[in-house]
Amino acid sequence: MADLIHRPRRLRRNEAIRSLVRETRLAAEDFVLPFFACPGEGVRKEISSMPGVHNLSVDEIAKEAAAAYELGIKSVILFGLPEAKDEHASGAFDENGIVQRAVRAIRQAAPGLLIMTDTCLCEYTSHGHCGMIRDGEVVNDESLALLARTAVSQAAAGADVVAPSAMMDGQVGAIREALDAEGFEQVAIMAYAVKYASGFYGPFREAADSSPAFGDRRAYQMDAANAREAIREAELDYIEGADILMVKPAVVYLDILKMVREEFDVPVAAYHVSGEYAMIKAAAQKGWLDEERVMLETLTSIKRAGADIILTYYAREAVRALKS
Ligand code: PBG
């Protein structure tokens, strides 16, 4: 076969040439590292279904955030486990709430770090749903005011980006309006625009203690079978003023991520969720696959599909692997 003109293998002969022609490169700047803030002091409680991820008290988060920044991580996102939960999620918008305190502590400990806050009610409601309940249903419009209040309190604490994840219709618009009315027009919104009702959130619900007490989230999160609907959801958030559109989960929705990337001109984020992390961890612990290799391959696939921003519990390990 001496007459073969095109030989793709020429560009694969060694690492130098492979890296020269590589189309997708991961960088520390791509990642957003999640933190789970919990009450107390000196608390580091590992999540059993997420090895390497902890519930951290505010003082510990400040230390971890500074260390992550030192390592090269540029952004973090905060979730909160409040001291008490109630029907109205009052812990979500308390100016001294767990996330609001964590924001202030991180700002002190690592002033250069970009701080994002998850804006949702499920961690703060006694019933574990992302909105208010009336007659056994999660009601939309009453929930908007609470979400807007939560976003404003997070901005007041110093969050740079708020990330509404409740999947209530109109939440981005309600939050944008409330932020602007309070003088936070510079605070950006990263919308969990395309969020599926997914079994891959299981370990997160252990980490955030946010499992719904009854029913599930299918009446507000998207049906896994729907792709065209993703464009409609993303478009609504775009029109309502989302600065960044997110697709979640990431890996089993790469087709959706690619579509959203192609349709919209704003930055697109993807959330490599808890179950996606846990699966790799578990298989690696059994010695069934090479964790570092699978981690980097997974994160590369998310970026290749179109993500500009990747939220992942692997952020630190990925940055370390990229450095070595
Ligand atoms: C809050 C929220 C969830 C996740 C992010 N924000 C859980 C849910 O919707 O049940 C999941 C993140 C993960 O699984 O890593 N609504």
Residue ranges of domains in the chain? 22-323
- Active site residues per annotation: 195, 248
- The pLDDT score that the predictor gives to residue 266 is 98
For ligand 1, whether the C-beta of 138 sits within 6 Å is: no
Token look-up 């005011």 returns 145
pLDDT (tens place) for every residue of the chain, 324 residues total: 668 999 999 999 999 999 999 999 999 999 999 999 999 999 999 999 999 999 999 999 999 999 999 999 999 999 999 999 999 999 999 999 999 999 999 999 999 999 999 999 999 999 999 999 999 999 999 999 999 999 999 999 999 999 999 999 999 999 999 999 999 999 999 999 999 999 999 999 999 989 999 999 999 999 999 999 999 999 999 999 999 999 999 999 999 999 999 999 999 999 999 999 999 999 999 999 999 999 999 999 999 999 999 999 999 999 999 998
Query: Is the CATH number 3.40.50.10490 carried by domain 22-323?
Result: no
Q: How far apart are CA 258 and CA 307, in angstroms?
A: 8
The count of other CB atoms within 10 Å of the CB of residue 137 is 12
**Global confidence as pTM:** 0.97
| Best of 147, 201, 311 for a ligand 1 pocket test (most atoms within 8 Å of beta carbon) | 201
Give the Å distance between the CA of 107 and the centre of ligand 1.
24
Residue closest by Cα to atom 12 of ligand 1: 273
- The pLDDT score that the predictor gives to residue 3 is 86
Contact 55, 38 (CB under 8 A): yes
For ligand 1, whether the C-beta of 130 sits within 6 Å is: yes
Q: Encoding tokens for residue 39?
A: 């009450």
Nearest CA among 321, 323, 313 for reference residue 54: 313
